Amino acid sequence: MNDITVIKKIIGNNIYKLRTASGMTQAELAEKLNYSDKTVSKWERGEALPDISVLMDITDYFNVPLEYITVWHDKIEVQSIGTVKKMHIHARAVITCMSLMLVWLVFTLIFVVVRIAYPQAHNEWLAFIYAIPVTMIVWLVLNSIWFNRRRNYLIITCLMWTALLALVISFLSIDINIAIILTLGIPGQIIIFLWSGLGQIIKKMSRTE
């Protein structure tokens, strides 16, 4: 067998064992994933391979890490694997919080340095305003890697509005109607909304193929 056939067999076997260890039928798992039981049957027999987004849905549902489903297991105990998954989630959550706090540490350091080096400056507090959209960027990256990617639409929305607000606040001293920049957020928000809807449509289309 070639490599792709072996991978199909391993993943199909693990899906089967996870499903049966949880006492689920193919129809029940198919309903959870919005697929047909025939498709689930093909996965388990190694005749087809779920795409990466579906594999992530499966591993999230059974509380196992994604890499676990790609390795052969003679026996699967869902409860013990769930404990390991929870430990992974907890560790990732801690790392994410530390990363976000590191952003604020950097911008606080910038604030302190500017305050000391340029005591006559009056806008050093803007460092904390800029820290907000940067925090959103870091959160977006880590969420895309480790957590529920559906949350990305919310994070991108927050990133857009905080970036626009930071731009407006930065130019408050200018005697022009800079607040009009916020109107850019309206078409931007519509694009994000349509993008999220398009993603759901494409996902449903792929599931019906």
In the chain, % of residues over pLDDT 90:
27
3-class DSSP state for residue 112? helix
What is the pTM assigned to this prediction?
Answer: 0.59
Residues recorded for the chain = 209
Tell me the two tokens of residue 166: 């930071």
Question: How many structural domains comprise the chain?
Answer: 2
Ramachandran bin of 79, using left for φ above 0, alpha for ψ from -120 to 50, beta for the remaining angles: alpha
Least Cα distance to 61 among 29, 100, 38 occurs for 29
Tell me if 82 is assigned to some domain.
no
Q: Are residues 143 and 186 in the same domain?
A: yes
Tell me if 84 is assigned to some domain.
no
Considering the chain, what is the average pLDDT of its residues? 83
Q: Are residues 135 and 184 in the same domain?
A: yes
Q: Are residues 117 and 33 in the same domain?
A: no
pLDDT tens sequence across 67-113 = 888 888 766 555 555 555 667 778 888 999 999 999 999 999 999 99
* Band of residue 136 on the pLDDT scale cut at 50, 70, 90: very high
Domain of 30 in residue numbering reads as: 3-76
3-class DSSP state for residue 34? coil
Q: Which pLDDT belongs to residue 173?
A: 63
Answer with the one of 23, 41, 76 that is the final residue of a domain. Answer: 76
Q: Are residues 69 and 97 in the same domain?
A: no
Tell me if 61 is assigned to some domain.
yes
pLDDT tens sequence across 157-176 = 999 999 999 888 888 766 66
